[in-house]
Amino acid sequence: MTTRAVPQMPEGTGVVPSAVGVPAYNHLFPREAESAFLVRQLVRTVLETWHLPQLVEDAVQVASELVANAVDHARGHCIRFTMTRTGDRRVRIAVVDKSRAEPILRAVSSSEERGRGLAVVDAFSEQWGVDPLPWGKRVWAECALPVEGAQ
C-alpha cells in the first residue's frame, strides 16, 4: 500500500477573509490538480463557519469542477479561489485564472471520459457565469438553499 502525502496550504499564503462588506474568503492556489483537494477542504470549513452545512455537498462539487477546469485549460502558475456569502442562504464560488478563453457548456456522449465539468457545475448550482477580465476571466457559480416554506 502506498501512502500519499496530504497537500497542505503553502507557508505564508493563508486564506484571507474579507475585511469589509459581505463575508468572503480568497486564496491563491498553484494551478495543479492537488489544489482541488485543498479547495474542497476550504469550502467545507467556510460553510461550517457560516452555519451552512447543507450546502457543502453541492458547493464541493461546483468548486472541484471550477478548479479542475482552470487546471486543465488556463495559463499561468496559479489560480485564485474566492467564496462569498451573497445572502443568508446563498454563496458564490469563483475561480480566477489568466486565460481569456471562456468555458462552454456542451453535450457530452456517454463514451467520452472528459468534458462534463460545466454540466456538473450547471447541475449543482443555481446559476453560473463568466466575467471577462483584462488579463483573464472569473468563472463563478452560486449555490443556495431552497427558500423556507417553498414547495
pLDDT digits (tens, 9 = 90+) for 7-56: 444 444 466 666 556 899 999 999 999 999 999 999 999 999 999 999 99
What burial class does residue 113 get, using C-beta atoms within 10 Å of its C-beta: 0-12 exposed, 13-18 middle, 19+ buried? exposed
Q: What is the mean pLDDT of residues 72-92?
A: 95
Distance CA 19, CA 23 (A): 8
Task: Kindly tell me if the per-residue pLDDT of 6 is higher than 80.
Answer: no
The pLDDT assigned to 10 comes to 45
Q: What is the mean pLDDT of residues 67-85?
A: 95
Structure pTM?
Answer: 0.82
